[in-house]
Amino acid sequence: MPRVARSISTDEGNPRVGRLRSLVPIERVTQDYAGFGVGKHACPFHEDRTPSFHVYGGADGFHCFSCKFNGGPAEFVARLKGITVEQAVAELEKRYDVEIKGDGDMIRHLVNKSREEGMATVVEDPTFGMATALYVGQLTDELAEQQARRWIVPANVLRYDWRMGWDAETRRYTFPVIVDGRVVDVRRRAEDGRADKVISMKGGGRGGHLFGLHCLKEDGPVVVVGGEKDVIVGAHHLDASFVSGTLGESTWRRRWNAHLRDRDIVVWYDHDEAGAAGAREVLRSLSSCAASLHVVRWREDDPVHWDVSDVVRNCGREVAATMLASAWCVKPRVDSRIMQGIERSRRCRS
């Protein structure tokens, strides 16, 4: 059963209502206007002996299981104060310092809070794209420089090429996953030793995506690695494109192959059993569509659990480049037309 019914929502009639809902957490509004946050409460709109008013948090809104009233910030304030939804939107925009007139206007408004322009990707998606712009606006010079030192990648590269931001609420660095010009997820990374080091934004991780596609070069090898950090570090220091799946090294989706068809693929997963198993899975999946397949072999004295960024940091880019150039060939390069013929023959036999 859906957590929130949207029967009375005016999102379709007034897009500002929906955008406000995606940017201002409902629990912040209920706390400021009625004194309660996430959870079950007595409904403020009718006599309620048994608490039936549920505040779900974030963009999920609220729902009363007694009177069936539900919605987001605009609907809550409108009913509470006896004003129209349009008046409530105007009040909330002013109170929470947001300007919601259109997707482009919103992104420009948020990004203008930062000292540089043009760091956010202007996209159609009203949730992940706006979140990206918001996080970009929250990133300070100090936070950017700290991450630049950790990864040995210039702060401007992290900001402009990878749209790095900062989620102040959860204290995580953010990196949007951009596919075909649209933000489909926002990966959030903690650098303080938390067990859940990298997580997806709610709703974005479902099904998984390939990170790094928006920086894919038109030609040259594509290196498949184990995570966003390896993608960014590898792409900056080595002459190749880098991508990684957002579901971890153990999972590779066949639908991702379409983005890598007829490309020269090199797999460079972490130096451990999980990395080796994941590399075999990627090689099997891409064997029918890649122009060629190579896998980087770790050296005997490389520490267990090392990844691409560890090689760059501890051994230098020259050593990393040599390892990449000497990758073991699993499948020689074949003309794409021949590959298609082989694939057709295989399907006929099966």
CATH number for the domain including 293? 3.40.1360.10
Examine the domain organization and report whether 170 and 43 are in the same domain. Answer: no
Asked if the structure places residue 109 within a domain, the reply is: no
- Residue 316 backbone class (left: φ over 0; alpha: ψ -120 to 50; beta: rest): left
Share of the chain above pLDDT 90, in %: 57
Output the pLDDT for position 13.
54
Closest CA relative to residue 214, chosen from 181, 260, 255? 181
Examine the domain organization and report whether 151 and 29 are in the same domain. Answer: no
Asked if the structure places residue 6 within a domain, the reply is: no
3-state secondary structure (DSSP) of residue 145: helix
Asked if the structure places residue 101 within a domain, the reply is: no
Write the pLDDT tens digit of every residue in 149-190. Answer: 999 999 999 988 898 999 888 899 999 998 887 788 899 999
Q: How many CB atoms lie within 10 A of CB 77?
A: 23
Domain boundary among 95, 111, 131: 95
Write the pLDDT tens digit of every residue in 109-133. Answer: 444 443 343 444 434 445 676 777 7
Write the pLDDT tens digit of every residue in 200-215. Answer: 887 777 789 999 999 9
Asked if the structure places residue 300 within a domain, the reply is: yes
pLDDT at 298 > cutoff 50: yes
Calculate the alpha carbon distances from 267 to 177, 224, 228, 285 in Å: 20, 5, 15, 12
Domain boundary among 63, 79, 95: 95
Kind of pairing, strands 292-295 and 328-331?
A: antiparallel
> Is the pTM above the cut of 0.75?
no
Asked if the structure places residue 132 within a domain, the reply is: no
DSSP string of 82-113, one letter each residue: T--HHHHHHHHHHHTT---S-HHHHHHHHHTT
pLDDT bin (cut points 50, 70, 90) of residue 266 is very high
Examine the domain organization and report whether 88 and 161 are in the same domain. Answer: no
Asked if the structure places residue 253 within a domain, the reply is: yes
| Domain CATH code at residue 46 | 3.90.580.10
Highest mean pLDDT: which range of 101-105, 167-171, 313-317: 313-317
Edge-first strand listing for the sheet containing 53-55: 39-41, 53-55, 62-64, 70-71
Output the pLDDT for position 121.
41
Examine the domain organization and report whether 35 and 144 are in the same domain. Answer: no
pLDDT at 38 > cutoff 80: yes
pLDDT at 254 > cutoff 90: yes
Question: How many angstroms separate the CA atoms of 16 and 150, rounded?
Answer: 40
Kindly state the tokens that stand for 94: 């002013």
Question: How many angstroms separate the CA atoms of 90 and 55, rounded?
Answer: 22
Examine the domain organization and report whether 46 and 187 are in the same domain. Answer: no
Residue predicted with more confidence, 106 or 70 = 70
pLDDT bin (cut points 50, 70, 90) of residue 93 is confident
Kindly state the tokens that stand for 277: 């198993």
Examine the domain organization and report whether 80 and 145 are in the same domain. Answer: no
Contact present, 85 and 22 (Cβ < 8 Å): no
pLDDT at 51 > cutoff 60: yes
Q: At 138, phi and psi to the nearest 5?
A: -90, -10
Kindly state the tokens that stand for 232: 């960014």
Question: How many angstroms separate the CA atoms of 156 and 162, rounded?
Answer: 9
Examine the domain organization and report whether 54 and 181 are in the same domain. Answer: no
Residue predicted with more confidence, 194 or 290 = 290
Asked if the structure places residue 108 within a domain, the reply is: no
pLDDT at 9 > cutoff 90: no
Q: How many domains does the chain contain in total?
A: 2
pLDDT at 335 > cutoff 70: no
Examine the domain organization and report whether 80 and 213 are in the same domain. Answer: no
Domain boundary among 63, 95, 127: 95
3-state secondary structure (DSSP) of residue 130: helix
pLDDT bin (cut points 50, 70, 90) of residue 275 is very high
Contact present, 204 and 188 (Cβ < 8 Å): no
Residues spanned by the domain of 81: 15-95
Examine the domain organization and report whether 341 and 224 are in the same domain. Answer: yes
Examine the domain organization and report whether 83 and 173 are in the same domain. Answer: no
Examine the domain organization and report whether 160 and 226 are in the same domain. Answer: yes
Kindly state the tokens that stand for 109: 């408004």
Least confident of 171-180, 227-236, 302-311: 171-180
Examine the domain organization and report whether 91 and 23 are in the same domain. Answer: yes
* Strand residues in 236-345 grouped as ranges (E): 241-245, 264-267, 292-295, 328-331
Asked if the structure places residue 342 within a domain, the reply is: yes
Residue predicted with more confidence, 94 or 284 = 284
